[in-house]
Amino acid sequence: MSGHTTFKVGGKADLMVYPGDAEELGKVICMLKDEGLPFLMLGSGSNLLVSDEGLRGAVISLKEGFRNIEIADELTIDCGAGLSLGVLVNFAAGHALSGIEFLSGIPGTVGGALWMNAGAFGSEIKDVIASVSFADSNGDLKNIGINDLPFSYRKLDVDPRCVVTGCRLVLEKGDESIIREKIRSYATRRAESQPLGRATAGSVFKNPPGDFAGRLIEDAGMKGVHMGKAKVSEKHANFIENTGGASARDIFELMRKVAAKVFESSGIQLEPEVKIVGEGLGPWQ
C-alpha cells in the first residue's frame, strides 16, 4: 500500500479490485460479503495511514471505472467517485462554473472528499452537493439528496459498508479568469503554509472546536520532533512528514506522542483526522 498512499507507508493488501462500472462493483460487494471478507475503499490514499502489516480482505479502487464527468444542466455537474478533485476543479473552471475552487490542491478523489467532507478556506464539499450516489452493502445503487445526507466536520455519517459512486454538484455561473485567479491564490496560500512535495497525509488531527490542532501542537513544543523517520513538520505542525523510509508505526507513535503532549499542555484531546487502517497498529487510545 506504500505505492497507493501519500504517506508512502503501508504493507501489502491481499487483493486490489478495480471494478469497471456499477454492475461490476455490485458483484464484487456481493462476492466479498458471501465470502465474509472485509474491504477498504481507496481513493487517492491521501488521508490514510495503512499499517506496516497491511490489509486483509480486498481494497477497492474506483479510479478506473468511475471517472465520468459531465454537465447535467446549466449549473450542475455529475461526476464519478474515482475522479480526482484536480480534474473536477479544472473542468468546472473551463465551464465558467464557480464554487469549488477551495477544493483545488486537495490531492484526493471525489469519493474520498465526500467520505471525509473535505474542506478548506472556510468551505466544505457538502456546501456544493445536490445528491450523492451510493452502492449499499448488497451492491444496490441508491441516490440520496443533500437534505438526507448526514455531513458533519470531516465526516459523512452513513453505513460504513456503503460505497460512494458519484455525486451531483450545484455551482454558480462565474467568470473563468476570476475562477482561475482564485485557484492560483489558494495554491499560493497552500505553498506558503504547508510542506507540499513531502510525503504527508495533510492534517493528521481534526481541529478541536474553536481552536487549531496546529497551534496546540506548536505550543506543546512538538514542531520538528522525530520518531524514527517520521517528523512533525517545521512548516505546519499538524502535518507529519515521512522523511524517507518511515514506517506506519513511526507515524502512529509520533501521533500518539503529539496527542499526549498536547493533552499535557492544554487538556485538549486531539482526535485523528487521518484514517488509521490495517492490522497491527494498536487502538488509538
Residues with active-site annotation? 154, 203, 273
Distance CA 112, CA 42 (A): 8
Q: How far is the CB of 240 from ligand FAD (least distance, A)?
A: 11
Q: How far is the CB of 203 from ligand FAD (least distance, A)?
A: 6
How far are the Cα atoms of 174, 185, 216 from residue 258, in angstroms, in the given order?
Answer: 43, 31, 10
Q: Which amino acid is at 73?
A: D
The site that binds ligand FAD (CB under 6 A) totals a number of residues, namely 32
Applying CB under 6 A, does 106 fall inside the site for ligand FAD? yes
Which of 19, 54, 111, 272 is the binder for ligand FAD (CB under 6 A)?
Answer: 111
Distance CA 104, CA 183 (A): 6
Applying CB under 6 A, does 120 fall inside the site for ligand FAD? yes
Side-chain-side CA neighbours of residue 236 (13 Å): 21
Applying CB under 6 A, does 47 fall inside the site for ligand FAD? yes
For residue 97, list its beta bridge partners: 173
Pattern 213-252, ligand FAD, x by CB under 6 A = ----------------------------------------
Applying CB under 6 A, does 131 fall inside the site for ligand FAD? no
The secondary structure element, H or E, covering residue 248 is helix 248-266
For residue 211, list its beta bridge partners: none
State the cell numbers at 129.
452537493
Pattern 158-197, ligand FAD, x by CB under 6 A = -----xx-----------------------------x-x-
How far are the Cα atoms of 81, 168, 235, 259 from residue 250, in angstroms, in the given order?
Answer: 31, 39, 19, 14
Applying CB under 6 A, does 107 fall inside the site for ligand FAD? yes
Distance CA 216, CA 131 (A): 36
Q: Which stretch binds ligand FAD (CB under 6 A): 113-121, 207-215, 242-250, 253-261?
A: 113-121
Angle between helix 85-94 and 176-193 (nearest 10): 150
Binding region for ligand FAD (CB under 6 A): 6, 40-48, 62, 81, 106-109, 111-113, 115-116, 118-120, 163-164, 194, 196, 200-202, 275
